[in-house]
Each structure stands twice: as structure tokens, then as C-alpha cells.
Amino acid sequence: MAAHVQQMRPRVQMLTVTDAGVPLADEPTRAAITGTLEAIESRIEKQAMSIEGEGFGAGALRAMVAGMTLVVRAQYPIRIFADVPQATAWIAPQAAVALADAVACLRREHARR
């Protein structure tokens, strides 16, 4: 992925979608994610993270992740959202509906497996 992103022009917008109930990644996975993000950081324009879920736990997780983004001090803006439509509206307003539809399609495919 890093090599592909490095070749892209203009810079990319990153959309991350997860559920608040998903367990944290193990250390090797976190290290791989961190390494990839460091390798492509100069190519990222902005990142939207959709951490979906209802209730106090989901809200607390979003608040924790938002706080962590301040500590990380990425070279690009990062915003945390409660759902995909909000995230896509910020990350790419001109393509928000198409992005939200693509995420819905991926979810349907994942559910069939």
C-alpha cells in the first residue's frame, strides 16, 4: 500500500471505518499499521475515522482516539466521527454519497462470508 500511495497525485484522503466493539489490534498489527502510516504520511491530505457504535462506551472510545490524535501530532488533520455519512461528508464532500455507498457494499459482502 505504501508504494502505491507514494505514487499518487494529488495527496490522498484516508477513511478508516471500525466498530467500537472491535478488540484492539495486537502489537505486530499495530506496528505494521504505524509503519505504513509513517511511510505515507507526507502523501496524506486528511483522515476521517468513523468509530461506529451507540452509548457511553462508543462515545468514550471516540473521545479517547480523538485525544490520541492530538498526542500523535500528525502532519495532516484527523477527525473522528460516529458514522460513515458524517466521515465521508468531511473527507470528500463531492463524493460523500458514493463513498458511503461503497462502505455499505463492502459491509454486505463481508456479512455474506
CB-based contacts of 99, cutoff 8 Å, min separation 6: 15, 84, 88, 91, 92
Instruction: Take residue 8 and report the three cell numbers written for it.
Output: 499518487
How many domains are contained in the chain?
Answer: 1
Checking if the pLDDT of 28 tops 90, the result is yes
Comparing 71 with 11, the larger pLDDT belongs to 71
Q: What is the pLDDT of residue 50?
A: 94
pTM score, whole prediction: 0.78
Checking if the pLDDT of 7 tops 70, the result is no
pLDDT tens across 76-90, in order? 999 999 999 999 999
pLDDT tens across 63-112, in order? 999 998 888 888 899 999 999 999 999 988 888 888 888 888 888 888 88
Q: In percent, how much of the chain has pLDDT > 70?
A: 92
Residue span of the structural domain in which 40 resides: 2-112
Instruction: Take residue 108 and report the three cell numbers written for it.
Output: 454486505
Q: What single DSSP character describes residue 20?
A: T
Q: What is the pLDDT of residue 6?
A: 61
pLDDT tens across 34-59, in order? 888 888 888 889 999 999 999 999 99
Handedness of CA 56, 58, 101, 6 (dihedral sign): positive
Query: CA dihedral in degrees (80, 86, 36, 57; nearest 10)?
Result: 40
